Chains A and B, each alone.
Chain A
């Protein structure tokens, strides 16, 4: 549905040129919600602006629903943009238009009749829960209501694709949740393809099917959300995940950690469970089969897109031989084992 083929974007030229996007390949199949996450300045905004050519890529092709936007003249591009709604972090509603007239704007631009506009706008306001706000001006609305107006407006031209540029970043957590569930509903009911960029893992976790990670203008990961949350493929991905799960070893423990195993040390491991391994009674098996004690320092369970994800930081207490065998056993399960370091025995 959306295909970015080797898209690059450079600002300026010569030695002062800034390469904001580097050879991005991205495919968003019809009906999926694809998130792109990254730190500020990584190129997220440029990426989403390149999809509807608010920014023209310096190289590469952008194809939406079989139409190559990058090959179009200005008039054809304007037509194609009717197929591609967009919502923004700061809503970008016209302050001097009522809620109704804001939602009507894209249809006015297309030259639709008053009658058609009415028939389209009212159901959209109904769907976004704004039916009683038609005559109000944006200044009278809350942030969440403003974003609902923006969503209704983006859907007015019946687009096949919705682009969301940090659509929940200016909203509080509760409002974010309600906007996300609205987007999910739209995705399910209308089969709309959604590409969103965000810096919040929560957004990705809640509604995305797939996620891309952008770093320094490059798309460094592109994975199923379930896979990304259980086993990110890059260091940056792991940092995002750890930051999101806030499962770091306690500071006192980190200070005691040594990188190499010594004669009198225990390994400290971070275990990431997913899928079947969640149900396995691992800890008791380790204790029974290898005769070691497992001290759980921290643990957390998350549900992501219907998949359960468990995280645990634990110290394996036993002899050198026992712990090494225990680690081998752990690795034979469907889980991710990371040895964080070693601590001196205290027993």
Chain B
């Protein structure tokens, strides 16, 4: 393997990590609060708001039903507005983030749904405000489930980032397609796949470790 190829793989790995990190962090920052809102505005919940809940639910579902490759090109004008360009790694991070937010939100909502209603009731009986219930009961009790959801999101982002090549975003998927597939170089194809497999394994193990450490159920 030539040193040029090693450089190329290393460069692409960093690009993938960069896109996954940016999209992962931003989608968590937006998706966790959205997931909380989706949960607490449900009927009979602590901040029941049926209309808000329905609207948020529909928006989230729309976000999740658009195929990523279409989202990627459909929001190019928006991407250009945010990062000033429609091509490159930064440009790829925008649609990745947009796609991951509703994904995170639904996983967080699911994790909150696993918290026993009795705990919320106990907190209410102690005179907790809705905000206190969210911060001191719901989020800490769903911590394991939320970390698990974020791990799933990160792994999905690794896979989605492979499509970023379509907007010149670089990364391992792009490398695999351009060098491995288009130039008939099975070695490069194999290397990119192996690196991706190792990356996903590492993220999943780290996620599992954090779940075990943070959850005392």
Residue ranges of A at the interface with B (Cβ–Cβ < 8 Å): 52, 54, 77-82, 84-86, 88, 90, 92, 94-97, 105-106, 108-110, 137-139, 157, 163
Contacts and interface: CB of A to CB of B under 8 A. Distances in A.
Contact of B119 (A82, A85, A92, A157): A92
B126 A106 contact: yes
A55 to B, nearest CB: 10
B127 interface: yes
Contacts of B132: 109
Contacts of B136: 105, 108-109
Nearest to B117: A92
B127 A96 contact: no
Interface in B113-131: 116, 118-119, 121-129
Given A88-B121, A95-B215, A95-B217, 14 more contacts: A54-B121, A54-B124, A79-B127, A81-B125, A81-B126, A88-B122, A92-B122, A94-B137, A94-B140, A96-B215, A106-B126, A106-B127, A108-B136, A139-B217
A77 B143 CA distance: 29
A103 B125 CA distance: 14
Categorize the interface residue count of chain B: 20 to 34
Contacts of B124: 54, 81
Contacts of B118: 88, 90, 92
B216 interface: yes
A78 B141 CA distance: 22
B214 interface: yes
29 contacts: A52-B125, A54-B124, A54-B125, A77-B127, A78-B128, A80-B127, A81-B126, A85-B126, A86-B125, A86-B126, A88-B121, A88-B122, A94-B119, A94-B141, A95-B141, A95-B215, A95-B216, A95-B217, A96-B140, A96-B143, A96-B215, A105-B136, A109-B126, A109-B127, A109-B128, A109-B132, A137-B216, A138-B216, A139-B216
Nearest to B119: A92
Contacts of B125: 52, 54, 81, 84-86, 163
Instruction: Tell me the interface secondary structure of chain B in the complex.
Output: helix
Contacts of A106: 126-127
Contacts of A108: 136
A67 B217 CA distance: 39
Contacts of B121: 54, 88, 92
Given A94-B137, A95-B216, A139-B217, A105 B126 contact: yes
B137 A82 contact: no
A138 B121 CA distance: 18
A149 to B, nearest CB: 12
Given A95-B216, A139-B216, A139-B217, A110 B140 contact: no
B139 to A, nearest CB: 10
Contacts of A88: 118, 121-122
